[in-house]
Structure 1
């Protein structure tokens, strides 16, 4: 059984093949970061157009490199949401069309559920139930995962996600897009506690987040400087990153106590942050628990997680039987 996975939720075109016996046998992502970097963020129309150019080329190359006959594919899994509507339509239309031409099932996938379960492709993976910190460019959520398909929201960002805040501050500092990796790179050269920024809602007893106020505070601070040299940028990046990470870790600790559960999965683009990983490992050691991360290449958007979740759904015969194209830009996974 081989499942083709197609990921086009935002600006990365991802294609993968997951095999029921051998696991992941192909995974390739074409990034648009260089294109959107000059705009300081993603331009939805450009992203959708690039997906149109990339997807057929990438799928053809997939079968050429793997020497797999396209007729060996058992089902096509594609991201149906959440994400940018135009980008989702490209992948969904292609995925459904391909499944129809091959007379095989099509499986619409929730992008965030795929992120949540991407850790299951690792040798070290959790048993249910567990807590999940989903932290990406558009989402910051704490979720209780009871079993596959049964997720409950514990808390979420009331405004900007952590990833959005990273992107915005990176732009203000004159760094590249996406902002998370750029902030982390320069932060290493910053002086700890040189500047102190707010840690929004860190003392509130609920499990919600807010990063808009922190973002505004840092932007206003940056504007006080007539010139930003490398060291000033590094010091600001260090202080900002520590504020965000401290909030995320604090809320995770609160969730561990509230749910009496010491298994934590961290997924989404920001989960590759080295400082976040270090502090969460220390936190779970304190509670004699375990924290689980996907490999860095599975933290950002990719076709592998779509193909894997497609495989799980195919086994349960959870796929569409009609060819109506539907996308869900604000699709939620939780109850």
Structure 2
């Protein structure tokens, strides 16, 4: 099935969602269960899922490019695009088959259009639009990070607006207050590598792939597993600031260990587990400090009622149990409830895109019947930026002690 589509001459029209039907389509959005198909291709995973308005996952499918890019030493956009193009039709078909539904049962098609790798995003967007034209469905453009932020509301129905969200992944790291489905206050964001990217880069530099049991794990998974096996996690302690860790402290420590132990070019240092533990600890400590500062800013500005203080943690690096344990300590100290979706919903997937479509549909936001002017965006800010205000407040924190963080335990250990 090709990805060549006919241009339409009509202007972009944004329609409200009311008890009316769409272009002769007889499913009434407000009178019965709504079903959304979601497509995700923002990076290197081709995902599709069908979700209903009750939060039931009716069908899903995912094609991962992980091993291809692992062998290439990182994600190469043209290769990612070609793999999305090759697999998107079969992934969507598999999700439909798993749901035991047809396109007649689907009310709208939601697709990630920002932010992400443009070459990857374009495949999902074009295919989503193609399906909308073929089956006469409305199109819902989805913000990838907003989708991550709201997935927890499908997993835990007790999560209410407003809430604090920490998104940690390979491409992004940010703190924001989610006020409504499409309204966010951005409190902080990464200025260097996001944690997931830092894990991947340093795992490559430490040559963890040369250890057989780590060979097919992502950098974050390999470091977490190695850290869980550290005999003396504090023997190679790394210091702040986080932005200086990867480029200076860790590299210097690694080179020093390689020279001292006369490590061959294709081998790892004897203390690699301890170094991984130190690296993981300093990233966790940094995230905990930024989280605490955000919480104290929220308190000073009365952004979240005290009886509804909830933290949502999502994104690929949120699967790291050691990081989650540190964040939970901060939450317990400052009176927040922490909610983390299951690991398969923290990483990129079609479920979060479909669910964001459900959330937006309920609020009559972002449903299009004429969508030719909608395009992908490599970068897209999340909500109203308050980062500078947080900085200017110069909040002095009495940092929560993380002494309860004992020896790391990995999600990936036996």
| Contact persistence 2:238–2:245 (CA under 8 A) | yes
Partner of 2:289: 250
Partner of 1:185: 225
1:99 aligns with 2:132: yes
Equivalent residues in 2 for 1:208-223 (5 A)? 211-216=242-247, 217-223=249-255
How many residues align? The count is 325
1:159 aligns with 2:192: yes
Q: Shift of residue 170 of structure 1?
A: 0.8
1:31 aligns with 2:64: yes
Greater Rg, structure 1 or structure 2? Answer: 2
Partner of 2:240: 199
Q: Shift of residue 231 of structure 1?
A: 4.5
Matched residue SS, 1:223: helix
Q: Shift of residue 284 of structure 1?
A: 1.4
Q: Shift of residue 298 of structure 1?
A: 0.6
1:305 aligns with 2:352: yes
Q: Shift of residue 63 of structure 1?
A: 2.0
Pairing partner for 1:85 from 114, 118, 140: 118
Q: Shift of residue 91 of structure 1?
A: 0.1
1:327 aligns with 2:353: no
The unaligned stretches of length 5 or more in structure 1 are: 201-210
| Contact persistence 1:3–1:307 (CA under 8 A) | yes
Q: Does 65-74 or 304-313 show the bigger shift? A: 65-74
Matched residue SS, 2:107: strand
| Contact persistence 1:125–1:292 (CA under 8 A) | no
Q: Shift of residue 4 of structure 1?
A: 0.5
Q: Does 142-151 or 112-121 show the bigger shift? A: 142-151
Q: Distance in 2 between matches of 1:5 and 1:114?
A: 11
Matched residue SS, 1:92: helix
Matched residue SS, 2:129: helix
Partner of 2:366: 318
Deviations 1:237-284, CA, capped at 9 Å, x for gaps: 000000000000111111112212542111111111101111122221
1:69 aligns with 2:102: yes
Q: Does 228-237 or 269-278 show the bigger shift? A: 228-237
Q: Shift of residue 212 of structure 1?
A: 3.6
TM-score, normalising length: structure 2: 0.75
Q: Shift of residue 126 of structure 1?
A: 2.3
Q: Shift of residue 92 of structure 1?
A: 0.1
| Contact persistence 2:61–2:94 (CA under 8 A) | no
1:296 aligns with 2:343: yes
The unaligned stretches of length 5 or more in structure 2 are: 1-33, 210-216, 385-414
TM-score, normalising length: structure 1: 0.92
Deviations 1:301-321, CA, capped at 9 Å, x for gaps: 000000000112223152123
CA RMSD of aligned residues (A): 1.6
